[in-house]
Copies of this chain bind each other. A is one copy, B any other.
Amino acid sequence: VTSVDVAREAGVSRATVSYVLNDTPNQRIPEATRRRVWEAVERLGYAPSAAARTLRRGRSDVVLWLLPDWPIGPMVGRVLEGLAVALAEAGLALVAHPRAGNRRPVSEVWRAISPGAVIVWETLEPDDVAAMRAAGIDVILVLMGGDGPAGNGLEISEQRTGRLQVEHLAARGHRRIGYAHSHDERLLTFAGPRLAGVRAACADLGLDPPDVRTVGLDAERAADAVSRWRTATPAVTGVCAYNDEVALAVLAGLHAHRLRAPDDLAVVGVDNIPIAPLADPPLTSVFVDPERLVDYIVRGVLAGLSGEPAPAAPGSDIVRIADRGSA
């Protein structure tokens, strides 16, 4: 059932159908005609072909999120969900594509979708950006690592995350800070700004630079890192973990030595995952407020689509802390 059918049913031309359905300005169509068209639409159950609309318009009402290469955690899941809801309010459908190791060019995906906007966490190859723009995608939201104002929005928050970890520890008297890096190299995009924030906060507070160690999701190796921190000179008494999973590994390393946070070593995670309160002791965690992040991204997309300037980067209070006892 196409617009031809509706036109026939309503006794008008296809053009009129289009004008009525789109409420085109500068087209004065009497109420009676409008009603006839709408009735025909209802009767026939007509729904415009999105494919034809996309061909004509050059873009679809889809927003494409290029998922990063790293494992999808609960944080991404929450943001994805919130974003889908918020964009749906604006008539946009969100879909996510897992890049999965760049085995095939990303262009295959965005060409197949012709999205109105593309969102990426991390940097995009300049070639890809150019190709997208050439293909008419002019809303490209790079959340981190980009060079525009939008590109820095999240990066600042990530740095703030690291800073807040240190500030929390320093406020509890810790003078020598450790940093627990993830074993997964794919996470370096995130680790970079977070660690930079940690370093900056240490410098600002007059502390030594952090003692950085890699901690896999493995209690034995974590126990090894714990030993080294405790025997360093001066000894590390508080650790910022890359994320909650790594923080849980550090806690497991402490258990292996029959030690406990926060007295033997304080630990602060990132992300506030649902099981953080279940850790022993419950895990203190810094996190980016998912709702505010969603709001920021949505405003960026909508502004871009309507040609308005990008919204201001979120304030530093987008980063919060759940203080639970491990630090």
Contacts and interface: CB of A to CB of B under 8 A. Distances in A.
B218 A51 contact: no
Given A49-B55, A88-B100, A95 B81 contact: no
A62 interface: yes
B113 A248 contact: no
Contacts of A89: 103
A64 interface: yes
A37 to B, nearest CB: 20
A62 B100 contact: no
Contact of A72 (B64, B80, B219): B80
Interface string A61-90: 110100000011110111011111100110
Contact of A85 (B60, B80, B101, B218): B101
Given A47-B111, A73-B74, A74-B71, A97 B88 contact: no
A97 B96 CA distance: 6
Nearest to A47: B111
A307 B47 CA distance: 27
A304 interface: no
Given A103-B85, A274-B217, A278-B219, A96 B98 contact: yes
A282 B218 CA distance: 10
A255 interface: yes
A310 to B, nearest CB: 24
Interface string A196-234: 000000000000000000000111000000000000000
A204 to B, nearest CB: 32
A275 interface: yes
A190 to B, nearest CB: 16
Contacts of A278: 217-219, 248-249, 251-252
A78 to B, nearest CB: 8
A277 interface: yes
A291 interface: no
Given A93-B108, A217-B278, 4 more contacts: A77-B77, A88-B100, A113-B113, A219-B282
